[in-house]
Amino acid sequence: METKHRVHPASWWAQFPDVSGSFDAALVTEGISDLIIPKIPSPLLRREAEIAADVVVRHLAKPSSPELAERAAKQIKRLLATVERLAERSTGDDAGIAETYVVCHALRGDWDAAAAEAEPFVGTHPLLRVFVGALRLERFDTALAVRLLRAGQGPAAAVKAGLMVGKYGWWPDWLLRIVTERAMAGTLDQATITALDQCAYAELSPAQAKMARRLLNGDQMLIDASAFRLEGLGEPRAATKLREGDLTAVALAARLIPL
């Protein structure tokens, strides 16, 4: 096994099942196994791991089957016995013993331990895709969640942002870029989403959208000019809100910008 420093401890990976009421045990077990098994050099261990993973995943997909539950338990026990026997006889050659132990963790439901031990040699991104996929969330921006996780945000915050943005996939690209930027900065909340939604419904022209982006990014000179224009058009309240940084006034200000 390649020696590298771990990026995330088991306790970090253990947070994923907690942020979804439908965490898919079969999917995460299969995903982790598929990442690790091909890296087992020993044909014997690799084949035993493949058989065990197949049976366990089928059991997890159909947990009500007593027969599959019994077969899964036997296959895990057999795989563990095999790797322990080879470990006792090992002369230092890397036959994939460490990798096989990681597979055993995954098959027994210790996904957090498996991920923590596998991350140094399979990489963070593939594991994140597996864990995020196992959340089985609808109307969820998976790409954004993974990006936030890779940037250092915790599972709860990343999943929350993914859920917020997932229902707004129809938004224009310029607005989605702003959402992503705010999510990466940790400043995305429901109030911001609501305000940005008004911009999406405003049907702005390309020129107005460009101005809205500058307003949303805090261009002070443009904010002052737009607030002055709002006052001249009889919208002093909206002008005040815009100057105070209230995002709900941005859509109105952008629509009033002459083309």
pLDDT score of 92: 63
Does the pLDDT at position 33 exceed 90? Answer: yes
Count of CB atoms within 10 A of residue 68's CB?
A: 18
Residue 216 binned pLDDT confidence (cut-offs 50, 70, 90): confident
Over 90: is that where the pLDDT of 29 sits? Answer: yes
Domain ranges of the chain: 10-136, 159-255
CB 215 within 8 A of CB 226: yes
Average pLDDT over residues 220-233: 89
Establish how many alpha carbons lie within 13 A of residue 215's alpha carbon, considering only the half-sphere containing its beta carbon: 33
Distance CA 174, CA 163 (A): 19
Residue 186 pLDDT level (bands cut at 50, 70, 90)? confident
**160: Cβ–Cβ under 8 A, 6 or more apart, which residues?**
none
Residues 74-119 have pLDDT tens digits of 999 999 999 999 888 876 666 799 999 999 999 999 999 999 999 9
C-alpha 259/C-alpha 251 separation (Å) is: 15
pLDDT at 229: 87
- Using a pLDDT cut of 90, give the percent of the chain over it: 47
Report whether pLDDT(193) > 90. no
Q: Global pTM?
A: 0.77
| In contact, 127 and 115? CB cutoff 8 Å | yes
**Mean pLDDT of all residues belonging to the chain:** 88
- DSSP of 224-243: HHHHHHHHHTT-HHHHHHHH
